[in-house]
Amino acid sequence: MSPDMLGDQGSVATPAVDRIMDFSKTEGDKIDLKDLLGDDSELLFTEAGGKAELHIETQGNGVDQKIVFDNASLADLQLAFDASDSANLVTKMVDSGNLIIE
């Protein structure tokens, strides 16, 4: 990760966890990750305990950051963004401006 990137990412052994309590597409909520991501970054939505999670690999070698959506399951987010699956959800959120990655 370059020194100009901001963020509180953890490590693959101990990922940092951020929580979003009330994410809403209709209210125009945005998640801005552009200062956290590098060339080898990867994003993947999963679900744990009925809550959607965005897993972030800032360096492409394992998840070192997680964002937990306390108010939404993966199915809730897919429905809100008309996404066919978790990979398509990232694309739809970026396209709508609710997820900023660059």
Cα–Cα distance between 89 and 18 in angstroms, integer? 19
Identify whether 93 is part of a domain.
yes
Residue 20 is assigned to a structural domain of this protein:
yes
Domain membership of residue 9 (yes or no) is no
Asked, for residue 24, whether it belongs to a domain, the answer is yes
Residue range(s) defining the domain that contains residue 83: 16-100
Q: What is the SS3 assignment for 80?
A: helix
Q: How many domains does the chain have?
A: 1
| CA separation for the pair 45, 31 (Å, rounded) | 14
- Tell whether pTM > 0.75: yes
Whether 1 is in a domain gets the answer no
Position 6 in a domain: no
The answer to whether position 8 is within a domain reads no
pLDDT tens for 44-74 read 999 999 999 999 998 888 999 999 999 999 9
pLDDT tens by residue, 9-26: 688 899 999 999 999 999
Backbone angles phi, psi at 91, to 5 degrees: -60, -45
